[in-house]
A = this chain, B = another copy of it.
Amino acid sequence: MAAQQEATILVGKKPTTNYVIATVMQFNQGSKRVILKARGSAIARAVAAATMVRDRFLAGQVDIREVKLLSDKITGQGGKERVVAAVEIVIERK
């Protein structure tokens, strides 16, 4: 199977290193671009994973190309809409 050029990883509540490993694996499998997406309190974890990949695990090999900050509307319990902050961090192979 041909490797996808672009991969998206949803960052949730697992330890940061899980997302670091997932990102590094995507690049090692040939992805040119990995997008980390996170909402709410997982945002800090996505940022930590992205900087660890750029500055340690793939130092000199990838760049953080773009960081988008968004407001996502989600429907919570009871059908009430609320707004949460979200990020999309685009990491690209140099």
Chain B neighbourhood of A48, CB < 8 A: 40, 43, 84-85
Copies per assembly: 2
Chain B neighbourhood of A54, CB < 8 A: 69
Give the docked Cα–Cα distance between A17 and B48 (Å): 23
- Interface size for A (C-beta < 8 A) is 23
* Interface residues, chain A, with chain B CB atoms under 8 Å away: 40-44, 47-48, 50-52, 54-55, 64, 67-71, 83-85, 87, 89
Contact indicator B85/A51 (Cβ below 8 Å): yes
**Can you show 7 pairs from A to B with CB atoms below 8 A apart?**
A47-B69, A48-B84, A48-B85, A51-B69, A51-B71, A51-B85, A52-B71
Give the docked Cα–Cα distance between A45 and B65 (Å): 22
